[in-house]
Amino acid sequence: MISVAASAVLPQMTAHLHGASLKPHDEGFPAIQERRWMIGMMNMPVMEPEMDKPPARLPSDARGRWHEYTPPDITRGSDQRKRLTITFDGGSDDGDAEAILDALSTRGLTTTIFLTGAFIRKYPALVRRMLLDGHEIGNHTMNHPHLTDFERTFRHNTLSGVDKASVQRELIGAAEAFKAITGEEMSPLWRAPYGEVNDEIRRWAFEAGYIHIGWTSNNKKRESLDTLDWVSDMKSRFYRSPYEIKKRILDFGKDGNGINGGIVLMHLGTGRRSGRAASILPDLLDALERRGYELVKVSDLVEATPQFQAVKSVRKERVLEGMVRIKYREP
């Protein structure tokens, strides 16, 4: 069977290619953007996994003092178990959504899907199906805005005009849209548009009841579980055929613990007219199962982490404007 993995926290090791100015499904990828991206990657410090390093310290008297806690990014689960998650982002286009949901449903698999409020409003029936199929729905903000200046500076300085109120408004807006369509609450998980996030933004999101979920990368080995499935220009150096996407995932960490605990990034939308990434999903899922991997939801992967326990406490303690108290199963 396939499932998404537990505990240990890695720092966000690479910024997402979506930091380029193009939207995920725009046609083409200008050469100047490619050069800017490569320059940025070459200048990035290599950050090694810190599997045993504890997350930022929780306040000793946490109640009412969550502003003192900055949860780290979660980019991987434990690499000691053969579990992983293939997550999907839904921004504005449903593209391959039906094919993806069919491939998962046929195999009795569930995962985590990050949706914008705009996607939820545009495709309500599809969102209801995701919930009925048993998938976990995470927050991808209301309107998919840029939050940092990465595309200009290759750093993650909070953009001018982005503040606590605006970040929380984006998250609450998406949560309200989901509640209106399904009658349910979103999971306490979010993913920043374009992968643009920093300590300050993660802290603001945490106070609104969310922890940030990235994806697994290894800069030192130049490996990433960002599939780049949204790149549609076949002339781009970042374009990956369906076969190459499958190989990119299956070959990850082949000199170590493989894809154990991995968080894969894929998308529901696509600008591709051919070579659509969803076409290899059935073969990929079957190959992972043959190798003994279990595909799980992100919440299964991170349930034992301090930040997940903390965000559950935040959700229980506070009822923010536009949010409804969430019920959790007690152990």
pLDDT tens for 210-244 read 999 999 999 889 999 999 999 999 999 999 999 99
**pLDDT at position 318:** 61
Position 3 in a domain = no
Position 250 in a domain = yes
Position 323 in a domain = no
d(CA 299, CA 211): 11
**pLDDT at position 331:** 32
* Total structural domains within the chain: 1
d(CA 79, CA 68): 30
Position 302 in a domain = yes
Position 133 in a domain = yes
**pLDDT at position 2:** 43
**Residue whose C-alpha is closest to residue 302's, from 194, 191, 174, 225:** 191
Residue 220: which CATH number? 3.20.20.370
Identify any residues that bridge with 11 across adjacent strands, giving them in sequence order: none
**pLDDT at position 239:** 94
Position 327 in a domain = no
**pLDDT at position 321:** 42
The pair of structure tokens assigned to 152 is 């200009």
The answer to whether residues 88 and 111 touch, using CB atoms and an 8 Å cutoff, is: yes
Position 58 in a domain = no
The pair of structure tokens assigned to 175 is 């949560």
Q: Please give the backbone phi and psi of residue 139, each rounded to the nearest 5 degrees, phi first.
A: -95, 130
**pLDDT at position 211:** 96
Residue 291 neighbours by CB under 8 Å, 6+ apart: 82, 250, 258
Give the 3-state DSSP-derived string for 183-237, with helices as H, strands as E and coil as C. CCCCCCEECCHHHCCCHHHHHHHHHCCCEEECCCEECCCCEECECCCCCCCCCCC
User: Domain residues for 147?
Assistant: 17-48+63-317
d(CA 86, CA 204): 26
Q: Please give the backbone phi and psi of residue 163, each rounded to the nearest 5 degrees, phi first.
A: -140, -175
Q: For the chain, what is the total number of helices (H) and then of strands (E)?
A: 11, 9
- Strands of the chain, DSSP E: 83-90, 112-115, 136-139, 189-190, 211-212, 217-218, 223-224, 263-267, 294-295
Burial degree of 194 (CB within 10 A; 0-12, 13-18, 19+): buried
Position 136 in a domain = yes
d(CA 16, CA 263): 14
Positions in the chain whose pLDDT score sits under 50: 1-55, 319-331
For residue 261, CA distances in Å to 82, 113, 184, 287, 311 come to: 7, 17, 28, 16, 21
